[in-house]
Chains A and B, each alone.
Chain A
Amino acid sequence: MPDTPAIQTTGLGRSYAGRPVLTDLDLRVDAGTVHGLLGPNGAGKTTAVRILATLLAPHTGSARVAGHDVVREPEAVRRHLGLVGQHAALDEVLGGRENLVLFARLSRMSPRRARARADELLERFDLTEAADRPVSTYSGGMRRRLDLAAGLVLDPPVLLLDEPTTGLDPAGRREVWHAVRALVAAGTAVLLTSQYLEEVDQLAGAVTVLDGGRVVAAGTPDALKSSVGLDRLDVVVHDERDLDRAVAVLDALGTGTEADPPTRRVTTTVTDRTAALTGALHGLAGVEVDDLGLRRPTLDEVFFHLTTEGSRR
């Protein structure tokens, strides 16, 4: 069924003690893509993941994973899904291999297949050497890798990653990204929540931004960046005496113009990229310019822009 979305939710909602924590979430994730779920703490990201993982029942709307309804066919959903949660869900006393064999056996593999699968995953995540040491002796990065391996025991077509790199050092984060990219290239659909916006920017082709349980924006990272209209126009003049003129020119093109005399840099926020660039070139004719550029906002800026708007609502 190539047309069945890996994940599809319609009007998904959930409340705790009468307080809505997730409202009206529509989501579609296809095979071989990464969908990022962004939002501050308490935005409803983990709630959405837990509903998709059949750990929590939705109060409104519906959700399907690999074509199976999470409420009516939870067993079928569990056969198609791997979950890597915020905290490594591992048996600390057992070794890495024992953990993987346990989860493989409980996923109904024969003892022989379970052992083979465990060895395969240990090899793939570079844990063979530590396979028989208790997990309590593992580093944070090793635990994450083992947790990821545990989520992949059944080679699921759908993978839910709930803040998979929280608490990892940059090297550990890169390892996880590398593994995720390889999975996606092989056709896995990934729903990724993260508090590292850079991570979503790196991995996800589409993003949904949640705030207070509601979707405040959705689209590709690029579209989001443009939609917020937060492009920055930067000019660095060669001669400090031209600074005032540059300020005047940029101030006419954008808002919040700032000058930094030591670096001879003038920055302004613009909405129309093309008009701003042409206007700057025209207005600064005859001025010696060291650098002139339009900078897309970082996803961080977009995120804070969107979520503070959300809180003002």
Chain B
Amino acid sequence: MLKKLGLFAAMIAFTAVTGAAMAFPDKPINYIIPFNAGGESDISARLQQPYFKKLTGQDLIIQYQAGAGGAQAWSVLNDQPGDGYTMMGTNLPHIIMQPMLQDPGYKTEDLVNIYMFHFTPDALIVRADSEYETLQQVIDAAKAAPGALTVGGTATNTANHLANQRLADLTGAEMTYIPYTGTGATIPALLGGEVELLWGYTTVAAGQGDKVRMLAVAQDKRHPLFPDVPTFKELGIDMVGGAYRGIAVPSSTPEEVRKELSGIIGKINADPDFIAQMEQAGFAMLDIPYEEMDAFMAERKKLYEEIARQLGSLK
């Protein structure tokens, strides 16, 4: 009897092992979003959900673990089982800036990013009835009276804050940056006239339609949803960036599982329907698979360090 049971157990173990090798994933995957529901990280994860199911037959179970601007979740990621069934959203510049400025309980190198799948490009936005029609007008006005123009954005030492400093570095246009709690709070500030301009993302403009006007976006090419809005590059300003979103796994996750997951996210990213949905919402696609992650992270880190030093946040 005992022998039979042992054999049975071995059989199950065997099928489990080979099953895992043959078809990963064979059960639902937990996808932890380190922010509250309703934000860009949540929305893009929700858009991935059905494609993941279509591709693998398994569900993506989205959970939220918000706190400390994402740091609460990131600091415990490596305590999770590294079997490939737990992954977590990661955001840039957050995971580089936070450890650089204080001790959030994790280091940038601790997080094993397997894919960066999109970004929301920085965009300089004004109200539709604003006197500023072009970026050059803003730059001229800011140079004429340094610091007199107010520009809203999300929190301190964030993508928006860095973008403001980067523009000042490259053009000499100094504006006063006003931090708000979350993208949602910046929109009434712009529409209500509390600030003249807004550092936002293409997603903000996509949500507000003809009530706002984008002066420039920080992308390599123009965003398909806004063919009339120039890029900073076209205007001679070398700014490409924004808030990047990717996926990380616990550091105990084996190499082949990392690659497997990276491949699945890459396939979702290549689906034309997915791309159309993402771009309709204002996101910009990005493809940094696991293999190219180190180079990408190193490049961003160098840039952020430089700006943080100018901001005086980093000594």
Asked if A and B are interacting partners, one says: no
Chain A positions within 8 Å of B, measured between CB atoms, are none
Chain B positions within 8 Å of A, measured between CB atoms, are none
